[in-house]
């Protein structure tokens, strides 16, 4: 979509900042890390929409990060390579990168490739699960619309974003920090209480009885979760299970 959450792994601070500025200018939200280990950790925890990897990095090098990431997720990966030899390129695509770009590159080129990757990725997921369904609740990302028992409900952008995040893993409890991260973007600095306010407004719109929420439930001491449709088996998934440590 227009504003994606992008993880940038680049050890040279100057380069990293350049990339960040370019991408933020495009409306994306950017999280910087400076080594391969942090890239893996953050990718697992924050679930970015796209990863930009420098090939040469301390701790774990870019190619290895790429291989590992690819084995556990299908997040689009753009490789940054200094050299322009065929070897590097082939090696990169071999370990599962979706595209590569050689330094020096123009901001335009970076932006264009990121856009292309996001678009391609969007086309895949959009075609398949455009509409999330959880019980009576339908979240139609394409139409930016939510329906409860077939009745359309108008939500604001943030309310929609939060609901979308929760609906991505029904039953899983998200902390407020995770919700902010995933629904609002990396560079969004707000108090966690803000989530409460949005959740309250959301409940007023989609819940029949806001005091006894059927959909968006509070997990005391942790955050919120979307109730699973099936009421019989409360499958003890708890907070674990989704790779987020």
Residues that bind a second copy (CB under 8 A): 1-2, 14, 17, 21, 25, 27, 108-109, 111-112, 115-116, 119-120, 122-123, 126-128, 130-131, 142-145, 156-157, 169, 171-173, 175-178, 181, 186-187, 189, 192, 219-223, 225, 239, 242-244
76 in Cβ contact with 51 (< 8 Å): yes
Secondary structure letter of residue 235 according to DSSP: -
Contact letters (x/-) for DNA, 40-79, by CB under 7 A?
Answer: ----------------------------------------
Closest CB 147 distance from DNA, rounded Å: 17
Query: For residues 16 and 155, which CB has a smaller minimum distance to DNA in the complex?
Result: 155
Residues 6 or more apart whose CB falls under 8 angstroms from that of 20 comprise 8, 30, 32
Angle made by CA atoms 185, 186, 192, in degrees to the nearest 5: 80
Query: For residues 65 and 179, which CB has a smaller minimum distance to a second copy in the complex?
Result: 179
Asked if 28 is part of the footprint of DNA (rule: CB under 7 A), the reply reads no
210 makes contact, choosing from DNA, a second copy, none, with CB < 5 to 8 Å by partner type, with: DNA
Closest CB 229 distance from DNA, rounded Å: 20
Distance CA 2, CA 6 (A): 12
- For the record, the structure tokens of 152 come out as 């359309």
Query: Is the alpha carbon torsion for 214, 220, 224, 228 positive or negative?
Result: negative
Asked if 221 is part of the footprint of DNA (rule: CB under 7 A), the reply reads yes
Distance CA 4, CA 167 (A): 18
199 makes contact, choosing from a second copy, DNA, none, with CB < 5 to 8 Å by partner type, with: DNA
How many residues does the structure list for the chain? 245
Among 199, 206, 226, 227, binds DNA (CB under 7 A): 199
Taking residue 200's Cβ as centre, other Cβ atoms within 10 Å add up to: 12
């Amino acid at each position: 979509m227009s504003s994606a959450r992008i993880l940038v792994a680049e050890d040279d601070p100057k380069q990293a900042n350049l990339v960040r500025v370019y991408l933020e200018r495009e409306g994306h939200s950017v999280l910087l890390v400076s080594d391969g280990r942090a890239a893996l950790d953050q990718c697992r925890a924050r679930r970015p929409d796209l990863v930009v990897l420098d090939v040469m990095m301390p701790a774990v090098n870019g190619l290895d990060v790429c291989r590992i990431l690819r084995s556990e997720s299908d997040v689009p990966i753009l490789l940054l390579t200094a050299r322009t030899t065929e070897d590097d390129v082939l090696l990169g695509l071999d370990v599962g990168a979706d595209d590569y770009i050689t330094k020096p590159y123009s901001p335009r080129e970076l932006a264009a490739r990121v856009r292309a990757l996001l678009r391609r990725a969007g086309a895949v997921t959009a075609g398949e699960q455009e509409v999330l369904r959880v019980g009576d609740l339908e979240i139609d990302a394409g139409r930016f619309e939510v329906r409860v028992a077939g009745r359309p409900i108008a939500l604001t952008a943030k309310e929609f974003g939060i609901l979308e995040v929760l609906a991505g893993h029904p039953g899983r409890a998200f902390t407020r920090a995770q919700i902010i991260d995933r629904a609002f973007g990396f560079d969004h600095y707000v108090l966690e209480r803000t989530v409460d306010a949005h959740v309250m407004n959301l409940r007023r719109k989609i819940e029949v009885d806001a005091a006894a929420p059927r959909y968006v439930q509070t997990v005391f001491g942790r955050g919120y979760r979307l109730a699973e449709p099936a009421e019989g088996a409360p499958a003890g998934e708890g907070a674990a299970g989704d790779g987020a440590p």
